[in-house]
């Protein structure tokens, strides 16, 4: 089974990367919809505060079952140095179904070590690959090579799992 790309995006940057990744691999994708209002200055402040406090939210209905995929690529914007509340909610609710994970993020600055450590701890497993992209790179379309490398790592993992599964039969 191919990878599944799951992403949350408040202003479209992570969505652009998530959709490009799913296009590249030709796999399913799932955009997380937050029922909490995140637009405007108040939405901005609430988002930063929720992330810093590890707060969960309520997501809209999901389309895909992550248990049916070898690896789930989880994409989030960096909020207060951490993952967005919608991504924290998705991982919390679905981590028991993950067969493998990879992480990607978009961010205004350069720092993301805490984010990937936090995602790994919450998932309870190491990612097969990670990708952090500055929003300015995404805007200027200067991320294609790094996205291709990340996509390659996902496909390698997916192929390896498929081979193991067929040997088990």
Ligand X SMILES: Cc1cc2nc3c(=O)[nH]c(=O)nc-3n(C[C@H](O)[C@H](O)[C@H](O)COP(=O)(O)O)c2cc1C
Q: Which residues contact ligand X (rule: CB under 6 A)?
A: 9-15, 44, 47-48, 77-81, 106-109, 135
CB of 13 to ligand X, least distance (A): 3
Burial class (CB in 10 A: 0-12, 13-18, 19+), 58: exposed
Question: Taking a C-beta distance cutoff of 8 angstroms, is the pair 133, 104 a contact?
Answer: yes
| Nearer CB in complex with ligand X: 100/119 | 119
**Token pair 């690959």: residue:** 129
CB of 130 to ligand X, least distance (A): 15
| Nearer CB in complex with ligand X: 14/94 | 14
CB of 2 to ligand X, least distance (A): 23
CB of 60 to ligand X, least distance (A): 16
Nearest Cα to 122, choosing from 98, 88, 154?
A: 88
Nearest Cα to 127, choosing from 104, 109, 149, 148?
A: 104
111: tokens are: 């720092």
| Nearer CB in complex with ligand X: 78/101 | 78
| Nearer CB in complex with ligand X: 15/88 | 15
| Nearer CB in complex with ligand X: 83/128 | 83
CB of 40 to ligand X, least distance (A): 11
């Amino acid at each position: 089974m191919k990878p599944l790309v799951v992403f949350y995006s408040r202003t479209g940057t992570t969505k652009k990367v998530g959709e490009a990744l799913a296009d590249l691999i030709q796999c399913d994708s799932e955009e997380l919809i937050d029922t909490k209002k995140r637009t405007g200055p108040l939405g901005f402040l609430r988002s930063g505060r929720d992330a810093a406090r590890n707060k969960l939210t309520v997501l809209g209905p999901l389309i895909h079952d992550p248990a049916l995929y070898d690896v789930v690529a989880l994409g989030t914007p960096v909020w207060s140095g951490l993952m967005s509340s919608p991504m924290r909610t998705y991982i919390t609710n679905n981590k028991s179904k993950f067969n493998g994970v990879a992480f990607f993020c978009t961010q205004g600055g350069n720092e993301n070590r805490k984010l990937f450590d936090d995602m790994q701890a919450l998932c309870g497993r190491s990612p097969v690959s990670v990708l952090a992209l500055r929003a300015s790179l995404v805007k200027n379309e200067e991320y294609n090579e790094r996205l291709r490398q990340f996509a390659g790592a996902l496909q390698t993992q997916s192929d390896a799992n498929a081979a193991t599964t067929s040997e088990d039969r």
